[in-house]
Amino acid sequence: MDLDRLKVSSFERVTRPIEPKDSGLITERLGLLPGHRVFESGVGSGFLTASMARIVYPEGEVVGIEIDTRKLEKARENLEQLGKVYEKSVMLKHGDAREYLEGLEDEFDAMVLDLPEPDRVLEVGLDALKSNGKVAVFCPFFEQVRTVWQVLEDRCTWLEAVELIERKLQVEKRGIRPGRTLGHTGFIVFGRV
Amino acid sequence: MDLDRLKVSSFERVTRPIEPKDSGLITERLGLLPGHRVFESGVGSGFLTASMARIVYPEGEVVGIEIDTRKLEKARENLEQLGKVYEKSVMLKHGDAREYLEGLEDEFDAMVLDLPEPDRVLEVGLDALKSNGKVAVFCPFFEQVRTVWQVLEDRCTWLEAVELIERKLQVEKRGIRPGRTLGHTGFIVFGRV
Amino acid sequence: MDLDRLKVSSFERVTRPIEPKDSGLITERLGLLPGHRVFESGVGSGFLTASMARIVYPEGEVVGIEIDTRKLEKARENLEQLGKVYEKSVMLKHGDAREYLEGLEDEFDAMVLDLPEPDRVLEVGLDALKSNGKVAVFCPFFEQVRTVWQVLEDRCTWLEAVELIERKLQVEKRGIRPGRTLGHTGFIVFGRV
Amino acid sequence: MDLDRLKVSSFERVTRPIEPKDSGLITERLGLLPGHRVFESGVGSGFLTASMARIVYPEGEVVGIEIDTRKLEKARENLEQLGKVYEKSVMLKHGDAREYLEGLEDEFDAMVLDLPEPDRVLEVGLDALKSNGKVAVFCPFFEQVRTVWQVLEDRCTWLEAVELIERKLQVEKRGIRPGRTLGHTGFIVFGRV
């Protein structure tokens, strides 16, 4: 089994999934390791959930909260294809991220948010991170970078906002040239509490 | 333990390591999963080895071949900090990638090359991949993209050359602006046999 | 005489000048031609003034308003090196852009703003443009793109926000690779009334 | 009249024209001024010819050599719309760039090449540049950057290879985000003899 093929050929897309360039950077920057506990919301199609679950497996877990039941069911179907990785290391729950996190302390090594109004979730949710825990917030719009940054800058010892631009090369008989299309893009704000 | 911090604070760099943006895309595109066997050469400082080992753990393995003994020793020191992930899922060997691969068949789910003259290794090494196995070749120069592509295009059913450009945002009181520096970059050629 | 060398070797920089990539795009997108009358504020070091004056010469004119007298004097010294192009086609004035434009109608073929709070100037200044006249606003920050866009969208029949990313190639004996540095950058909002 | 609109609405495209981002950078980096004499080949649709002619006007001239008679006629029709700028400052000729330049000395302030095998033209044509004259070569492919660089590096005191990446911003009610499309791109090699 090849996770990339699985996602492309069998994962049904209920929403525009985070691109591989971005999910890859997230798993690197969060420094995920086997045994980690990760909080994710929303779950969307489960693309990023799958990328993280394969890392924290077998002792660790990705807890995915999704407010849209239709998406949640589809994510479950998608992720069940991972077999033991799904069974051991993915916990999907229906609900609201803000409500779920409120009151939790010292629970997660990392947290990933890809939902509207991430600042509202961060306001109550950062205590759920363990000491030195990391957060990644996907922001399609510049305006979100600002609101997320404002919540994080008082709480984080390290903070960074990044964009990845992906370009394919066209390899032709005549020569190699930069391609003309770009994938979907957005900004990712990373922080460490 | 946080792999990103570990790499940044404790991994000694004996060579310019592959950037997180690129190692992240490689682990995504190769579709790595727990249990996979991966061939890697050169090993360099062990940055990418660590990223892949944490995924294939516990049943899988990254076999890393490095021709430079000084680099190999340093990579070993770096990777030992991963503890059980290193012990179970990293196998480092001194040697030449071409010689190691010659004659091997159906051994690896994926192969990553980051060394001079990758085309010479690919010429003899692709049979070491299992059916539908994937290869990623890091190419600092355009010229290498061409030579690698030429070897792969007859053997691969899917082939792609990509570059990631990383830009940090400067978040200032006055406003948010694109940053002025870029990380090290290179091209990555991906193929599936 | 070569304008690029002149700017680089003899123009004193009193402020960070607009990069050649951006001044080039501005003169293209504004569609400047000999005979045009152009409004510019601020003048800064006179880099962009020079690029535009050489085009509208000999019958046209760039009217440059600068509020900082020290910058204005330096721009004058810089631009005097253009000789007849300066004498015939540059008019520098000390003053405030908003005050200068207030009440003017149908005066300019094009308008270029590179100053703080361009939205305040646009609110009163767009009537100074002739029918189908064009405006270009340089915005270092995303937030300015928004405020400028809001003023222009009711008045313009065409509106566009663009960023140019410049990359040098490193041409080495071993091969060609993308360079690692970027020039200063910003966004340019173009509109036609 | 607005050159940008004229090009977009009335210039017939017989070939993929150089983008405004690139033609703008070329006129900046070549340091063109009124009175300059410029050599251009091929002429294509006349887009770049128009951008340069409006600058060197009225005393200067762009000499455009085009080997394809159909393109040449279309470029002439396009450029005639410039009126006096065309009449005074554009000279179109049918022919081969290499043949035209052979034996010429000290004729041009600048030279722009956008044709196949520019290295063959440069081999015989650089003497046609005045002392300190500049050359710009548009290269769609990396391979051309190499061959052009090799011819120029012995003859030039300054040499640079550049690419411009243009991104539009999508300004939406919800926020501002980077656009997903890129214009056509290529590399430009600049040199000064």
Contact C180 B180 (CB under 8 A): no
> What would the mean pLDDT of B75-95 be, rounded to a whole number?
98
> What would the mean pLDDT of C166-183 be, rounded to a whole number?
84
- The pLDDT value recorded for residue C179 is 83
List CB contacts of A165: < 8 A, sequence separation 6 or more. A182, A185, B164, B165, B166, B167, D165
Place of tokens 């000064």: D192
> What would the mean pLDDT of C75-94 be, rounded to a whole number?
98
Please count the helices (runs of H) and the strands (runs of E) in chain D: 8, 8
Give the separation between CA B160 and CA B153, rounded to whole angstroms.
10
> What would the mean pLDDT of D184-188 be, rounded to a whole number?
85
What percent of chain A has pLDDT above 70? Answer: 98
**In the predicted model, is pLDDT for residue C67 greater than 70?**
yes
Kindly indicate the confidence band of residue A88, based on its pLDDT and cuts at 50, 70 and 90.
very high
Contact A143 D176 (CB under 8 A): yes
Contact A164 B21 (CB under 8 A): yes
**In the predicted model, is pLDDT for residue B182 greater than 80?**
no
Question: What mean pLDDT is reported for chain D?
Answer: 95
Question: What mean pLDDT is reported for chain A?
Answer: 95
- Distance to chain C for B83, nearest Cα, Å: 35
pLDDT tens by residue, C86-107: 999 999 999 999 999 999 999 9
**In the predicted model, is pLDDT for residue C180 greater than 80?**
no
Kindly indicate the confidence band of residue A158, based on its pLDDT and cuts at 50, 70 and 90.
very high
Q: Which residue has the higher pLDDT, C173 or A148?
A: A148
Identity of the residue in D140, D163, D180 whose CB atom sits nearest the CB atom of A182 = D180
- The pLDDT value recorded for residue D137 is 98
Show residues of chain C in contact with D26, CB under 8 Å. Answer: 24
Beta bridge partners of residue C166, listed in sequence order: D164
Nearest CA to B45 among B138, B141, B114, B145?
B114
Task: Write out residues 88-107 of A within 8 Å (CB-CB) of B.
Answer: none
Question: What mean pLDDT is reported for chain B?
Answer: 95
Complex prediction ipTM: 0.96
Contact C29 D134 (CB under 8 A): no
Write down the pTM of the prediction. 0.94
**In the predicted model, is pLDDT for residue D183 greater than 70?**
no
- The pLDDT value recorded for residue A183 is 64
Can you read off the two tokens belonging to residue D173? 């009610």
**In the predicted model, is pLDDT for residue C182 greater than 90?**
no
Kindly indicate the confidence band of residue A167, based on its pLDDT and cuts at 50, 70 and 90.
confident
- The pLDDT value recorded for residue D182 is 67
Show residues of chain D in contact with C187, CB under 8 Å. Answer: 169
Q: What are the percentages of helix, strand and coil residues in chain B, rounded to 5? A: 40, 30, 30
> What would the mean pLDDT of D134-162 be, rounded to a whole number?
96
CA closest to D146 among chain B residues: B143
- The pLDDT value recorded for residue C84 is 98
Kindly indicate the confidence band of residue C15, based on its pLDDT and cuts at 50, 70 and 90.
confident
> What would the mean pLDDT of D66-85 be, rounded to a whole number?
97
